[in-house]
Amino acid sequence: MQSASVAQTRDGGTGVGVGTGVGVATGIGVAAGWRDGGSSAGRRPAQASGGASDTTSAIGNAQRLAIVIAAHRISSQCATGAPRLQSRPAMRSRMEEMVRAAQETICGALGPLDERPFQEDAWRHPEGGGGVSRVLQHGTVFDKAGVNVAAVEGKLHPEALAAMIAKQDLEPAPHRFVAVGLSVVVHPHSPWVPTVHCNYRYFELDDGRWWFGGGTDLTPAYVVEEDARHFHHTLKEACDRHDLAFYPRFKKWCDDYFHLPHRGEARGVGGIFFDDLRDREPEALLAFVADCAAAFVPAYVPLVERGLARPWGERESRWQGLRRGRYVEFNLMYDRGTRFGLRTGGRVESILMSLPLLARWEYAHEPEAGSAEAATLEVLRRPREWA
């Protein structure tokens, strides 16, 4: 049996990097060229005297507020009201600042848990903009973790438009688009630490339309009720600060979206998901999206710390591989973000960052009755309420 322990905060660089590769539903495929051109590769956050728990609590509170306050502060500098074409650069800049702050916070929380640093790649989109991808591979805690940001522009061709199922009201003629987003995918080494995905984005078209989209969802190899409830409760708190109707609405949307119809299973235990969100002032929606992004660390890092304490062996690793196979199936067959990114000239390395290093398929596999694997499959076949 194997057992991992939480790594203490270490000296040395946590190469945090940006570069949104894949986005759920609208999938920002490529990151934008950042105006300041700055890079934080090789830089590790200030060290805490304790271990991961100290880091988690500090980021889960102060950093969440910092991100949200930044979004409110920036938005207060601009006039309210429905944005028109001439107001695009202002909203785009505010969203860029928010996702970059969120990237620093998330990498600052994940980096100290692993002995291997993030690798940073800055890149440019062929039609305009670019991004920064920060990826950690073959780590001691994470098999693969990516925290990417992007701000890109280009032409929305009919084939890319077809991938945007939620935008069927658009004219089939080509559109120019601008997309800014944050994308996070983490595949841990231990089968008891769940995979997590997070994506938040802002989209504009040349006909004046704009919207926000995104969400955060959890994909455990083994469903642990305490973990699922904590994760959903944290996201619900973020939603409730803005609208009490948000969490139930976006939780159901998440359950419906992350579903594999050919398997009759959910990809995981869900979370929240939304798209085409433009039902109120853009400044209010930016603040909501910033709060959701800030909820990622307190929702997820405690699950990492708990899962690392549990021993596991070949049986658990084999089941993890099978569940990761389902993850691959969803992303390549159904995820609109992956399809959109590949059809708009996106950076392939960033788009496919979401896939695990290893996955497994076995012919006609069914878990043993009464096993932990069978219990997990039962939950995935019948979505539950967690908060």
Catalytic sites, residue numbers: 197
What amino acid occupies position 160?
A: A
Compute how many other C-beta atoms are within 10 angstroms of the C-beta atom of residue 209: 16
Count helices and strands in the chain by DSSP H and E runs: 12, 9
What amino acid occupies position 245?
A: A
| Residue 365 DSSP class | -
Residue 63's closest CA among 284, 297, 285? 297
Compute how many other C-beta atoms are within 10 angstroms of the C-beta atom of residue 368: 9
Q: In sequence order, which residues have a C-beta less than 8 Å from that of residue 33 and are 6 or more positions away? A: 124, 125, 128, 129, 130, 131, 151
User: In this structure, are strands 210-219 and 195-205 parallel, antiparallel, or unpaired?
Assistant: antiparallel
Q: How far apart are the first and last CA of the chain?
A: 33
Report the C-alpha gap between 365 and 354 in whole angstroms. Answer: 25
The answer to whether residues 56 and 301 touch, using CB atoms and an 8 Å cutoff, is: yes
Report the C-alpha gap between 305 and 4 in whole angstroms. Answer: 10
The answer to whether residues 184 and 198 touch, using CB atoms and an 8 Å cutoff, is: yes
Report the C-alpha gap between 91 and 83 in whole angstroms. Answer: 8
Neighbour-count burial of 385, counting CB atoms closer than 10 A to its CB (0-12 exposed, 13-18 middle, 19+ buried):
exposed
Q: In sequence order, which residues have a C-beta less than 8 Å from that of residue 311 and are 6 or more positions away? A: 1, 2, 3
For 190, half-sphere exposure in the C-beta direction (CA atoms, 13 angstrom radius) is: 22
